[in-house]
Amino acid sequence: MQAISELIKQLPKAELHLHIEGSLEPEMMFDLAQRNGLELAYKSVNEIKNAYQFTQLQDFLDIYYAGMSVLITEQDFFDLTWAYLNKCHEQNVQHVEIMFDPQGHTERGIAFKTAITGINRALQQAKTKWNISSKLIMCFLRHLSQQDAFKTLEQAKAHLDLIDAVGLDSSELGHPPSKFQAVFAEAKSLGLKLVAHAGEEGPPDYVEQALDLLKVDRIDHGNRAMESKTLIARLKSEQIALTLCPLSNLKLCVVDDLSNHPLPQMLENDLLVTINSDDPSYFGGYIIENFLAIQQSLDLTKSQIVELVKNGFKGSFLTEKEIEQFIKQVDTCANSLI
């Protein structure tokens, strides 16, 4: 009989909500700034860390976009992604579905190809070296126009073999999913899967729009869906996965305390909820730290942890057969530890 923290560490896990630019650790930010001859607004790693005080999503986004400006070359994108995949290996994450924000780079004059080639090279190396499987999600920045998103989708067309899905992120309030209906329809026609951030700060109506207008396959966050009984019933009956990010919610003041996180009500309602890290270097932890924090705050049981871990695979874009194989591995590992 192992401690619950051991169970969390040892179970094979999937991560479905991770912005690769949000895994840029302050140390690497400094190294890359130096390598590329750039000057940062901060003088030390500690100064950067002290700046990570947020009261809402926008406070974080301003710092996040400034931080990613040190990413210039293909090697930078490789190094960033490789560092995250090393963490995955350390934390026994065996499948990742990572997001990237091409517009955060093309707007600065960095080619789409530079970013995607570096990220993909690291993903392929992790498959070869550790058998970590992956999917890549290209996000549209919702504070920009749909026309801009269409331009990005055009650029993506030369690399569709490397892209599995499109997503929608950045400033939620005032930028409803309806703004991106046409570009999501085109992405779907190209055979891409669809996800969108919704209900992180935005109202339940944004979650409904993501489902009805964008036709997403899963919802990133979705916390505020719990304000609507009809939405809860729908998420349950359609088993739409929600990619929750506990430490992100705490740092961005989406919840005032993890003990008030909506996860227990979601589990009671049989929703397909998963645990993820969102932007680990900004929010204080990777997937294991997120599991540990939410487990301790809500006193989750071992069987709830196993359910959450299995949901990570069930909510993924893997094939049914692959999901079945991963679930078997989770069961085998859980049975040996519980």
When asked if residue 25 is in the footprint of Zn ion (CB under 5 A), the reply is no
Least distance in angstroms from the C-beta of 139 to ligand ADE: 7
Q: Which of 200, 201, 289, 324 is catalytic?
A: 200
22 binds, among ligand ADE, Zn ion, none (CB under 5 to 8 A by kind): ligand ADE
- Nearer to Zn ion by Cβ, of 21 and 278: the residue is 278
Which phi and psi (to 5°) does residue 198 adopt?
-160, 140
Amino acid identity, position 278: D
Contacting Zn ion within 219-278 (CB under 5 A)? 278
Picking from 153, 115, 145, 94, the residue whose alpha carbon sits closest to that of residue 318 is 94
209 binds, among Zn ion, ligand ADE, none (CB under 5 to 8 A by kind): none
# residues near ligand ADE by CB under 6 A: 11
Contacting ligand ADE within 44-63 (CB under 6 A)? 57
- Given a contact cutoff of 8 angstroms between Cβ atoms, the answer to whether 295 and 8 are in contact is yes
Least distance in angstroms from the C-beta of 142 to ligand ADE: 8
Picking from 172, 168, 123, 161, the residue whose alpha carbon sits closest to that of residue 146 is 168
Picking from 189, 190, 207, the residue whose alpha carbon sits closest to that of residue 198 is 207
Contacting ligand ADE within 272-291 (CB under 6 A)? 278-279
Rounded CA-CA distance 96/17 in Å is: 8
Is position 200 annotated as part of the catalytic site?
yes
Least distance in angstroms from the C-beta of 172 to Zn ion: 10
- Nearer to Zn ion by Cβ, of 23 and 114: the residue is 23
> Would you list the DSSP string of 279-299?
SHHHHT--HHHHHHHHHHHHT
Least distance in angstroms from the C-beta of 281 to ligand ADE: 11
The residues carrying an active-site annotation are 200
Binding region for Zn ion (CB under 5 A): 278
Binding region for ligand ADE (CB under 6 A): 19, 22, 57, 64, 169-170, 197, 200, 248, 278-279
